[in-house]
Amino acid sequence: MAYQNEKIILELLKIEGNSECADCGRKDVEYASYNLGVFVCATCSQIHRSLGTHISKIKHINLDYFEDSQIKNLMDIGNKKSKLIYEKRIPACYRIPKINDPQILLEQFIRAKYERREFSGNQMPSYTSGKMEGFLMKKGKDDNKYFPRKFTLNEADDTLRYFVREDRNPKAVLRISELNVTFATQFKKDLVHKNTLQISYLSPSNSTRHLFVYHDDPEVIVNWYNSIRCSKLHYLQIAYPHANESDLIGLLTHDFAKEGYLMKTGPRPSDAYRRRWLTLDDRKLSYFIDPLDSFPKGEIFIGSSNEHYSVRPGVAEDFRDEGFTFSVFTPERIYNFSASSAELRNEWMNEIQKVINRPLSTSDIALCARLIRKRYATMNFLPGR
Ligand SMILES: [Zn+2]
């Protein structure tokens, strides 16, 4: 009997869609949810199990025996049809998780699909409405203490505000269209609460400000994340009415390409190497004393090879080589870094090289100008004034 089932399962896996995980797309399905009628990978099967058997009943496709009725369900539904049911109305701005995306996104996607039926009902989820408010735990600017702060999002005036006291003016008003939001757990896993968002924006002084916020409920934090994405999408759709929606979706939010500790020298060969937290955020290579600092100690704009930016192994002439070193050449200065292993150095060099290979866009040029203006301002030497 078991053999008979195994043969049918193998046949079912040949049907288009069934060999890719119904939730994350991984081409390595090992399990089936026989009540939902879908095939999933090992990672997603764990999440299905955590939902409880009243939502999803999981079996291993080779090691478990399937009843005829369970096989029939898998035959009748399958991955392709299930998407038409459970992903019928996914909002365009919703970030559908891919392999290696933050775990919280995958968990909440699976819960939204099968537990909350967020995409198969007739109501659009609340985070698409352009308005959101609630309390989030926010890290203090100068310390590691978190306090509840009221946040309000209002797409109509493109603002995200937070209040220290509800009856007072907001402590800060951020323009949604100009900020980025990412899950801080990607690289700072052991340093932050598991549901932490990192919100980054350019402060009036042209320095990037980082806010860290979390909520104990992962659903709430993912809803905030998607509400920011939705507001950004609507803003872009008005600004670029003829653009393809799929092109605009690529512009909503971005994750950091790489983060971690490196040793960095100052501008003079006699300067010591100091441990810094580095973040490669699109075209900004920022360095911090502490990973959770609100402001970077410095920000290096990474242009393209056309503007003579490059990354090379080793250090600039006269500088001490601390081992596993590499340098970033910009038209203004050479920055020397030392990693703790050859592997880590190669990872950093690869990611920086990818940025250098990419030609500059108009918004990249604007960012470069702002960072340079900031440098002049801090040198007390504003050109033209
Ligand atoms: Zn999966």
**Per residue in 42-91, pLDDT tens?**
999 999 999 999 999 999 999 999 999 999 999 999 999 999 999 999 99
Cα distance between residue 13 and residue 78, in whole Å: 9
Cα(110) to centroid(ligand 1), Å? 10
Cα distance between residue 231 and residue 349, in whole Å: 35
Residue 375's pLDDT band, with cuts at 50, 70 and 90, is: low
Stretch 332-359: mean pLDDT, rounded? Answer: 96
Cα(104) to centroid(ligand 1), Å? 13
The pair of three-digit structure tokens given for residue 316, joined into one six-digit string: 């600039």
The pair of three-digit structure tokens given for residue 208, joined into one six-digit string: 């990037």
| Block residue for tokens 């960012």 | 367
Cα distance between residue 48 and residue 63, in whole Å: 18
Cα distance between residue 134 and residue 146, in whole Å: 16
Per domain, the residue ranges of the chain are: 2-115, 126-249, 258-378
Fold (CATH) for 258-378: PH-domain like (2.30.29)
Residue 205's pLDDT band, with cuts at 50, 70 and 90, is: confident
Angle (CA) 349-280-236 rounded to 5° is 130
Cα(362) to centroid(ligand 1), Å? 37
pLDDT in tens, 215-228: 999 999 999 999 99
Cα distance between residue 192 and residue 185, in whole Å: 7
The pLDDT of residue 379 is above 80: no
Q: What are φ and ψ of residue 274, in 5° steps?
A: -125, 145
Task: Report helix angle 2-13 to 68-76, nearest 10.
Answer: 10
Cα(45) to centroid(ligand 1), Å? 7
| Block residue for tokens 């939730």 | 23
Cα(22) to centroid(ligand 1), Å? 7
Stretch 244-273: mean pLDDT, rounded? Answer: 94
Cα distance between residue 16 and residue 75, in whole Å: 12
CATH node for 126-249: 2.30.29.30
Better-scored residue on pLDDT, 133 or 363: 133
Cα(223) to centroid(ligand 1), Å? 21
Stretch 99-124: mean pLDDT, rounded? Answer: 94
Residue 380's pLDDT band, with cuts at 50, 70 and 90, is: very low
The pLDDT of residue 384 is above 50: no
pLDDT in tens, 282-338: 999 999 999 999 999 999 999 999 999 999 999 988 888 989 999 999 998 999 999
pLDDT at site 310: 97
Cα(30) to centroid(ligand 1), Å? 10
Asked whether this chain's domains 2-115 and 258-378 adopt the same fold, the reply is: no
Find, among 282, 372, 371, 285, the residue nearest to 336 by Cα: 285
Residue 259's pLDDT band, with cuts at 50, 70 and 90, is: very high
The distance in angstroms from the start CA to the end CA of the chain is 86
Residue type, 357: N
Stretch 18-25: mean pLDDT, rounded? Answer: 96
Cα(150) to centroid(ligand 1), Å? 35
The pLDDT of residue 32 is above 50: yes
Indicate the pTM of the whole model: 0.92
Cα(25) to centroid(ligand 1), Å? 6
Question: Cα–chain-centroid distance for residue 172?
Answer: 23
In whole angstroms, how far apart are CA 284 and each of 35, 153, 207?
47, 26, 11
pLDDT at site 130: 95
pLDDT at site 373: 72
Residue 99's pLDDT band, with cuts at 50, 70 and 90, is: confident
Cα(43) to centroid(ligand 1), Å? 6
pLDDT in tens, 153-164: 999 999 999 999
Residue 22's pLDDT band, with cuts at 50, 70 and 90, is: very high
Cα(42) to centroid(ligand 1), Å? 7
Kindly report the average pLDDT of the chain as a whole number: 92
Cα(350) to centroid(ligand 1), Å? 28
- H/E stretch holding 41 reads none
Cα(115) to centroid(ligand 1), Å? 16
Pick the CATH number of 2-115 from 3.90.1300.10, 3.30.420.40, 1.10.220.150, 1.10.579.10: 1.10.220.150
The pLDDT of residue 3 is above 70: no
Cα distance between residue 109 and residue 24, in whole Å: 9
pLDDT at site 195: 96
Cα(98) to centroid(ligand 1), Å? 9
Cα(361) to centroid(ligand 1), Å? 35
Query: Do the beta carbons of residue 153 and residue 133 sit within 8 Å?
Result: yes
Contact partners, residue 365, CB within 8 Å, separation at least 6 = none
Cα(216) to centroid(ligand 1), Å? 24
Residue 7's pLDDT band, with cuts at 50, 70 and 90, is: confident
